[in-house]
A and B are shown apart, each in its own frame.
Chain A
Amino acid sequence: MIWVETIVNGVLVGGLYGLLGVGLALIVGVMRVVNVSHGEFIVLAAFMGVSLSGLVPSIHPLVLLVPIVLVFFALGYVMQAALFNKIVARPDPFAAILLTFGLAVVMRNVMLEGYGADPRTLTAGTLAHASVRIFGLSIGVLPLLMLGVSTALFVALQLVLTRTTFGRIVRATADNREVVRLMGVNPGRVYNVVMGLALALASVAGVLLAIRSNFTAYSGVERLLIAFEVVVLGGLGSFWGAMLGGILLGVVQLVGLKFDPNAGPLYAHLLFFVGVLLRPNGLFGVRT
């Protein structure tokens, strides 16, 4: 029974991992760049949650998500406009990696100066300990809620990208930025919105993860690696693949920790490695 519970919890945390990855997958899919500072933004959102809930302790952290998401959308938009659009058209594929890597180092160390190196966590009040019994299993309400939020966001993103005009423009820009320009679309502005969306998704994941487990200014590295593993395992550009990849990673990590309590993310990393070895295009990606 304990194993079933572990697996169920793995699925629940995995939904959150999927959410960590989907922001990155969006950027990779549309801009064809990897944002190495993605993990730092996730941690920044968590710190923002901690600061805000310190300022207004009466408001539940889940409600605080609303202003945080808005701020992160704006942050993503401005950053893409001010920094990343300058290099996105460069043929050199390393420019983006290195620019965002520099940004990650700056953000990590500024957060370290501002918030110190102690582990933090977001407290969610009574909700954190509430649980329901389903088929004799005791399952936390909060993790269930998190999986619900992740799934809802996945569905929403999928619908926006496939059913709306904006989604069509985004997909067209991803396919060919020169041709959409001929159609009167400014690819730079599309990128700004996409980066805003990606960081908004990252901030949701960051805040939810901060409620689940504690974090430090250094956690960005770990978060980025999870996000990246989710993207590659799921198959590049495949959003449902990212969700499934996240769930797989979550299950493997929790089952691994049950076997071997001080393993940390070792088994998740190993799964990624084996996955890449067997299927370089991801578990659900298209073979090219």
Chain B
Amino acid sequence: MTIAQVLPPLFGGALIGLAALVLLALNGRVMGVSGIFGGIVNLAGDWAWRAAFLAGCIAAPLLLALTGHSASIQVDATLPVLVVAGLLVGFGTALGSGCTSGHGICGISRLSPRSVVATGISWSSPSPRLLSSGI
């Protein structure tokens, strides 16, 4: 990768880190998207800040598009793959208490052994794409 290719991931990553700090410093909460989303699903009661957080995520690409930085994404997954992937991600993050943001960024920043282990496992899980390619 060239420097020009490395800068957007680094800068975007720094914004993600800043998002986690803002939520902890202002609201005292861990920025774990599966937990914030899951709290609405299991009717935890404090839905207002959770909904506002998710609304912020959705607003981000819309606001960036207004400033001429529209996001281009490529979803290769077919409908059945999207459904199976969503089911596994929902079940797995609820069972394992976190995802890339909660364990991967907030947990590792707190040097939590649980989060280091969970992130190590989820980042190295055998991708079904690898298995299907004959390895």
Partners in one complex: no
